[in-house]
Amino acid sequence: MKKVMSILIVLAMVLSFAGCGSEPAAEGKYTVGICQLVQHEALDAATLGFKEALSEKLGEDVVFIEHNASGDAATCITICNQLVSENVDLIMGNATAALQAAASATSDIPIVGTSITDYATALEIEGWTGKTGRNITGTADLAPLSEQAAMIPELFPEAKKVGILYCSAEPNSVYQANIVMGELEAAGLSCEVFTFADSNDVANVVSAACASSDVLYIPTDNTAASCAETINNVALPAGTPIISGEENACKGFGVATLSISYYDIGYIAGEMAYEILVNGANPGEMEIGFAPEFVKKYNAETCSALGINPPADYIAIG
């Protein structure tokens, strides 16, 4: 009898430990992996909005695994492969290279992008319908490019030559530049493209662009945004004004922009992630989301330094 009792006690202990090991830590919770291309104010705001939207809806039932690739696309690939190996429930890709890395890493785990200018370009989708048809959805940071282009003759009616400056490694920058160049040339302006491969040659390229341009246009470009101080240190002394693709970059080097809120598009992406995780929405059938409003804004300090007086419908960046 004593022997039987001993066996029963041991079995009870084993079952007890087994129960502890399979319990709540991960049960009932969602693990969301975040891959952000680079740290700068716009992308940081989008990630914050995304996390706050999910946290407001899920509370402690969502856990984030957050990584920043420090501007290196290859690191995005490593991060996303790691997130897939950790079997996260959803991956958020913040910026084009992060989205592309996530798309290459998995066709099964849902992916929500944000801060993406054009999903068709980023994912090489032909016959764009507004939905990816894949395990991917998200929000775009694209402001109306025709309206951005129109700001140049509006603010600089005497300008004849526009330098269009961006990182050649960012396909969405190429997309924006081509559209804006077409708009400007149709308006009778002469355009010249200046590209840099990475942050190492930004100063030299900006210097060359300033030397041959009346005004510069820099689209929404992560490398440019992360090098805002370098760009401003060249362009401002040269007296060359810059129209920027987004507000946070404009704070660093621009005179004006047609602005969106990156926090807002991140928040909307978080709401989309909730629908996928909790309500079973199919990301491939979800329309890409856009910013709810666009506002003409100006950098008061830079405008003052260059002697520019924006029209009354422009709002100073706070």
**pLDDT at residue 12 in the model:** 41
> Which one-letter amino acid corresponds to residue 106?
T
Angle in degrees, 0-180, between the axes of helices 202-211 and 228-238, rounded to the nearest 10: 30
Is 21 a member of any domain?
A: no
Q: Could you list the mean pLDDT of each consecutive 10-residue stretch along the chain, which spans 318 residues? A: 40 35 49 96 96 97 97 96 98 97 98 96 95 98 93 97 96 94 97 94 97 97 94 98 95 95 96 98 98 94 96 93
Strands 90-94 and 30-36: parallel
Q: Let me know whether 60 and 116 are in one domain.
A: yes
Q: Let me know whether 229 and 273 are in one domain.
A: no
Q: Let me know whether 235 and 305 are in one domain.
A: yes
> Which one-letter amino acid corresponds to residue 94?
N
Q: Let me know whether 60 and 94 are in one domain.
A: yes
Range of the domain at 39: 30-141+261-285
- Between CA 172 and CA 114 the distance in angstroms is 13
Q: Specify the CATH number for the domain of residue 35.
A: 3.40.50.2300
Q: Is 138 left (phi over 0), alpha (psi -120 to 50) or beta?
A: left
DSSP 109: S
Q: What is the pTM of this model?
A: 0.78
**pLDDT at residue 175 in the model:** 93
Is 221 a member of any domain?
A: yes
Is 3 a member of any domain?
A: no
**pLDDT at residue 259 in the model:** 86
What sign does the dihedral 69-73-74-79 (CA atoms) show?
Answer: positive
Q: Let me know whether 180 and 311 are in one domain.
A: yes
Q: Let me know whether 72 and 122 are in one domain.
A: yes
- Between CA 290 and CA 167 the distance in angstroms is 23
Q: Let me know whether 199 and 308 are in one domain.
A: yes
Q: Let me know whether 94 and 181 are in one domain.
A: no
Tally of structural domains, the chain: 2
**pLDDT at residue 28 in the model:** 55
Q: Which of 95, 90, 15, 103 is nearest to 58 (CA)?
A: 90
Q: Which of 266, 262, 246 is nearest to 254 (CA)?
A: 246
Q: Let me know whether 130 and 173 are in one domain.
A: no
DSSP H or E segment with residue 195: strand 190-196
